[in-house]
Structure 1
Amino acid sequence: MQQVISVWVRDPRIQKNDFWHAYIDYEICLHTNSVCFTKKISSVRRRYSEFVWLRQKLQANSMLMSQLPELPSKNPFFSLNNAQQIAERMKGLQKFLEQILESPLLLSDSCLHLFLQSQLSVSNIEACVAGRTTYSVVQAVQRSGLRRFHSEENLQRDVRMSCDSDSDSPESGNPEHKLQGSTSKAKRKASLDLIGTSQEKMLSCSSGST
């Protein structure tokens, strides 16, 4: 069977640290049948500075490679309210990941796997890879909750319908869909949230801070 690795960078969201400081993070959706990955479907959120960190780590760890793909350049005039700038950056981040995932050498890097398939911060990724955590790389990936894509069918449907969507909250769905089966939908959402919260608590207890 031919091995396929598909990755999407989508759903930009503004996150606020406080009243004065905000940033945008992006959802990274991965869908693969490759034996290189512990999970075949995953979804995490990362910000631009974390992509910069990833490239630096991959460059340092892959001394046999002369040059890694470039990230979209950092624009000093980048605006959180400029849709065109956000779309261009998002496209550049996806292209970067697509090129990275074509390299068998880089696919063996644990930093890449934790970046793509865990919710660990970059400092905790470094600690995990260095063996300074109570959990392994595989355990960190396995404990990362799937909040969006709990089935392959949901991933494929969502990618087709909203690759450039700016929100995936229940309130953003169409009104007809909300009216049909609202009770069962609420139960499913509560169940998924409970699973995700439980998994995050397990990881937090193991690591001390994530």
Structure 2
Amino acid sequence: MERVDICVRNPQTHFDSKNNKFMTYEIAVTAKSTCFALPFSTIRRQFLEFKWLRKQLRSDYPYINAPNLPPNLYFSDKYDPSCIAHRMKGLERFLEECIQIKNYRSDTTFHLFLQSDLPLPKLKEQNEGKCDPNFMELVWKQGGKTQPIAPDFWEQFENGAEGKLTP
């Protein structure tokens, strides 16, 4: 039986190099489905990455009504625990509704968003067809992880490591 469970959990507050505050959410996927490369994965994403994904899915599939994301929190304290909980539920609902759409289930960018820690610039490159055809195989061989396993992943890949990446 095909089944995919998605959980958005473990919010974390971060600060960028300019000391701007932002939140990431862990996405845990358990997939008993031939559609998914990994049976289990956890990655972190920011809300702005969810916004990019929705925009990309709408662009790639204009004839499909994309599920809604939770609203932006302009007038609320977006770091208030109740706001965070509400946002996590909305993000989880968004992903669960996306999984129900056949075109999205088979979309490479959607899978990379859910099961790899590729940063947004690399997701964009992949979506535009600008990445080396072998790069996805390497990402999946690394369990969807590029950052913690091999910090110089992209350097090794661009120098022709061809599946021999070292941690």
TM-score class normalised by the smaller sequence: 0.7 to 0.9
| 1:145 alignment counterpart | 145
| 2:27 alignment counterpart | 28
Separation of aligned partners in 1, 2:66 and 2:36: 21
SS of aligned partner of 1:89: helix
Greater helix share, 1 or 2?
Answer: 1
Q: Which runs of 5+ in 1 are unaligned?
A: 147-195
Higher normalized contact order (CA 8 Å, seq sep 6+, divided by chain length): 1
Letter in 2 for 1:29: A
Q: CA deviation at 1:122?
A: 1.6
Separation of aligned partners in 2, 1:111 and 1:33: 19
Q: Work out whether 1:201 is the aligned partner of 2:165.
A: no
Figure out how many residues of one structure are paired with residues of the other and give that number: 157
| 2:111 alignment counterpart | 113
Separation of aligned partners in 2, 1:139 and 1:29: 21
Separation of aligned partners in 1, 2:6 and 2:114: 9
SS of aligned partner of 2:85: helix
| 1:100 alignment counterpart | 98
Instruction: Decide whether aligned partners of structure 1 residues 26 and 35 sit closer, same or farther in structure 2, where only a CA change above 3 A counts.
Output: same
1:150-161 maps to which residues of 2 (within 5 A)?
none
TM-score by length of 2: 0.84
Letter in 1 for 2:2: Q
| Deviation digits for residues 61-92 of structure 1 (CA, Å, limit 9, x no counterpart) | 11331x11100000112425410001000110
Aligned residues: CA RMSD: 2.1
Letter in 1 for 2:14: Q
Separation of aligned partners in 1, 2:149 and 2:66: 37
Greater strand share, 1 or 2?
Answer: 2
Separation of aligned partners in 1, 2:158 and 2:89: 33
Q: CA deviation at 1:206?
A: 1.7
| 2:165 alignment counterpart | none
Instruction: Decide whether aligned partners of structure 1 residues 130 and 18 sit closer, same or farther in structure 2, where only a CA change above 3 A counts.
Output: closer
| 2:6 alignment counterpart | 7
Q: CA deviation at 1:207?
A: 5.2
Q: Which has the larger radius of gyration?
A: 1
Is the contact between residue 127 and residue 133 of structure 1 (CA under 8 Å) also seen in structure 2? yes
Instruction: Decide whether aligned partners of structure 1 residues 205 and 20 sit closer, same or farther in structure 2, where only a CA change above 3 A counts.
Output: same
SS of aligned partner of 1:42: strand
Q: CA deviation at 1:109?
A: 1.1
Instruction: Decide whether aligned partners of structure 1 residues 79 and 31 sit closer, same or farther in structure 2, where only a CA change above 3 A counts.
Output: same
TM-score by length of 1: 0.68
